Amino acid sequence: LSGCLFGALAAVFILLSFGTDYWLLASESCTPNPDGSSLTDKSAGQLGAEQGGRDSTVSYHEGFFWGCFSGGHTDGIELDWASWLTSSHPSFKQCVPAYLYPFPILASNETAEYSPILIYKGFWSIFMLISVAAVLLGGLLIICGAPFASHRLYKAGGGLFLVSGFFLLCVVVLFILWFQLSDTLEAHVKYQLIKFCPGFNLSISYGLSFMFAPIGVFFCLLAGLLFLLIGRTVQNNYH
């Protein structure tokens, strides 16, 4: 019973992490010059417009499927994952497939190298798909194995849960490494400061989808070990 509970929780958290588009939260703000003007009407990620001398902000969230831009006024308010769920309607919103804009808000004419980011995002996406497929297949094998007390199905299901947890852990590690070590964001900020807005500011944070992933890893590895133990017990007692 404990194994089934942990397996169900693992599947739920992995699917939430996979299906929600809040791995990354970012906001770009352009503080106007004292005269109320900015270098261009495309400051703040080249998507915002001059807004009567007030700070214009472009916000962004990204997951496996979609990356969404939205804009409006924040008046200096810091954005976090909770504000994304409770904020009022932005002045504009645009969503694009995430594979077209891998990590975050990068324009094709910027100085940052784009191809390595695409390759990095490719591995991240493949590992995520493997994790989701493994946990779903493992759950199916456990469901099929329970009525027949099949130790082979229990062991195969447990192994797939361990595989799923391992690859999801790789997804989390890859994302943290990019978040902490990549110079892409620094290049993006420098580009915006020079080309568009001397008062440009970029803030980024982990999103709610990212928070789900480590929880999914924990339950997945725990369920996998329990199912392997159950399979061994069934084999010793009934075969």
Q: Give the domain extent around 230.
A: 2-238
Query: Sheet holding 56-62: strands in order across?
Result: 92-97, 66-72, 56-62, 24-30, 200-206
CATH of the domain at 213: 1.20.140.150
Question: What confidence tens digit (pLDDT) does each residue in 31-66 have?
Answer: 665 555 544 444 344 444 444 444 567 778 788 888
Looking at residue 46, its pLDDT comes to 47
DSSP result, 56-120:
EEEEEEE-SSEEEEEEE--TTPPP-HHHHHH----SEEEEEEGGGS-SSS--TTSSS-SHHHHHH
Looking at residue 213, its pLDDT comes to 94
pLDDT averages per 10-residue partition of the chain, 239 residues: 85 92 81 54 43 61 80 50 50 68 47 63 90 94 77 88 96 87 66 67 84 95 91 76
Rounded distance, CA 135 to CA 72, Å? 40
Looking at residue 55, its pLDDT comes to 54
Helix (H) or strand (E) holding 232: helix 208-238
Q: What pTM did the predictor assign?
A: 0.75
Helix (H) or strand (E) holding 181: helix 151-181
Domain count, the chain: 1
Looking at residue 109, its pLDDT comes to 43
Question: What confidence tens digit (pLDDT) does each residue in 205-238 have?
Answer: 888 999 999 999 999 999 999 989 988 887 777 6
